[in-house]
Amino acid sequence: MSAFFKLLARNRLALGGLIVMGLVVALALITPLLPLADPDATDTANRFLPPLSDGYLLGTDGLGRDLLSRLLWGTRLSLAVGFAAALFAAVAGAAVGIIAGFYGGRTDNIIMRGVDMLMAFPYILLALAIVAALGPGLVNALIAVSVVNIPFFARNIRGITVGLAHKEFVDAAKLAGMSNPRIILSEILPNVVPVIVIAMSTTIGWMILETAGLSFLGLGSQPPQADLGSMLGEARSALITNPHTSVIPGIMILIIVMSINLLGDGVRDALDPRLKSGALSRPMAATRVERKERPAPETSTDAILSLDDLHTQFHVKDRIYKAVSGVSLSVKPGECLGVIGESGSGKSVTALSIMGLVASPPGIITAGAARLEGRDMLSARFGELRRLRGRRVAYIFQDPLATLHPLYKVGDQLIEAISCHRAISKSEGRKKAIELLKSVRIPNPEERIDIYPHEMSGGMRQRVGIAMALANDPDVIIADEPTTALDVTVQAQILSLLSDLRRERGLAIIFITHDFGVVAQLCDRVAVMYAGRIVEEGPTMEILRAPAHPYTSRLIACVPELGEGKRKLEAIPGLPPSVDNLPAGCAFADRCLKAQDSCTKGEIGLEGSGSRAVRCLFPEPGFAEETA
Ligand SMILES: Nc1ncnc2c1ncn2[C@@H]1O[C@H](COP(=O)(O)OP(=O)(O)OP(=O)(O)O)[C@@H](O)[C@H]1O
pLDDT of residue 287: 85
- Domain boundary among the residues 258, 275, 292 is at 275
DSSP 330: E
Q: Is 314 in the pocket of ligand 1 (CB under 6 A)?
A: yes
Instruction: Determine, yes or no, domain membership for 623.
Output: yes
Q: Which residue would you say has higher pLDDT here, 272 or 262?
A: 262
Ligand 1 atom with least separation from CA of 512 = 22
Percent helix, percent strand, percent coil in the chain, to nearest 5: 55, 15, 35
347 Cα to the center of ligand 1, angstroms: 8
Q: Using the 8-state DSSP alphabet, how is residue 236 labeled?
A: G
Whether 346 is in the pocket of ligand 1, judged by its Cβ within 6 Å, is yes
Q: What is the arithmetic mean of pLDDT over 64-70?
A: 94
In the predicted model, is pLDDT for residue 627 greater than 70?
A: no
Lowest-confidence pick of 249-258, 421-430, 481-490: 481-490
Contact 596, 586 (CB under 8 A): no
Ligand 1 pocket residue status of 277, Cβ below 6 Å: yes
CATH number at residue 116: 1.10.3720.10
| Cβ of 316 less than 6 Å from ligand 1 | yes
Mean pLDDT value of segment 204-209? 88
Mutate which of 274, 284, 316, 345 for ligand 1 pocket (most atoms within 8 A of beta carbon): 345
Determine which residue's CA is closest to atom 24 belonging to ligand 1: 343
Output the pLDDT for position 277.
47
Determine which residue's CA is closest to atom 30 belonging to ligand 1: 344
| Ligand 1 centre distance from Cα of residue 189 (Å) | 31
Per-residue CA distances from 360 to 288, 312, 357, 386 (Å): 6, 11, 9, 16
287 domain-assigned:
no
Q: Could you tell me the pLDDT band of residue 275, with boundaries at 50, 70 and 90? A: low
Report whether 471 contacts 479 (CB < 8 A): no
pLDDT value at residue 569: 65
Q: Is the pLDDT of residue 245 over 80?
A: yes
pLDDT digits (tens, 9 = 90+) for 71-123: 999 999 999 999 999 999 999 999 999 999 999 999 999 999 999 998 888 87
End-to-end alpha carbon distance in the chain: 59
Does residue 120 lie in a domain region? yes
Rounded to the nearest 5°, which phi and psi values hold at 305?
Answer: -130, 135
Which residue stretches of 236-380 are H helix?
Answer: 244-271, 347-354
Q: What is the mean pLDDT of residues 148-169?
A: 92
| Last residue in a domain, options 220, 254, 275 | 275
Is the residue at 175 inside a domain? yes
pLDDT digits (tens, 9 = 90+) for 97-110: 999 999 999 999 99
Regarding predicted confidence, which is higher, 569 or 321? 321
Establish if 122 belongs to a structural domain: yes
Centroid of ligand 1 to alpha carbon of 531 (angstroms): 10
Q: State which ligand 1 atom lies nearest to the alpha carbon of 345.
A: 21
Quick check: CB of 445 below 6 Å from ligand 1? no
In a domain, 520, yes or no: no
pLDDT digits (tens, 9 = 90+) for 511-545: 999 888 888 888 999 999 999 999 999 999 999 98
Of 343, 350, 511, the residue with max ligand 1 atoms within 8 A of its CB, to mutate for a pocket test, comes to 343
Distance from residue 323's CA to the centre of ligand 1 (Å): 6
The residue with greater pLDDT, 138 or 299, is 138
Give pLDDT tens digits for 446-486. 999 999 998 988 888 888 988 898 888 899 999 998 887 67
Q: Mean pLDDT score of the chain, rounded to an integer?
A: 87
Q: Which domain holds residue 584?
A: 550-561+570-627
Domain count, the chain: 2
146 alpha carbon – ligand 1 mean position (Å): 45
Structure pTM? 0.69
* Last-in-domain residue among 275, 309, 329: 275
Q: Return d(Cα 524, Cα 537) in angstroms, integer.
A: 11
Quote the pLDDT of residue 279. Answer: 47
Q: Beta partners for 56? A: 53
Helix H or strand E segment including 474? none
Question: Does residue 62 fall inside a structural domain?
Answer: no
Confirm whether 451 is domain-assigned. Answer: no
SS3 of residue 620 by DSSP = coil
Measured in degrees and rounded to the nearest 5, phi and psi for residue 397 equal -100, 170
**Residue in 311, 314, 510, 519 to alter for ligand 1 test, most ligand atoms within 8 A of Cβ:** 314
Half-sphere exposure (Cβ direction) of 226: Cα atoms closer than 13 Å: 27
Question: Does residue 493 line the site of ligand 1, with CB under 6 A?
Answer: no
What is the residue with the minimal CA distance to atom 7 of ligand 1? 314
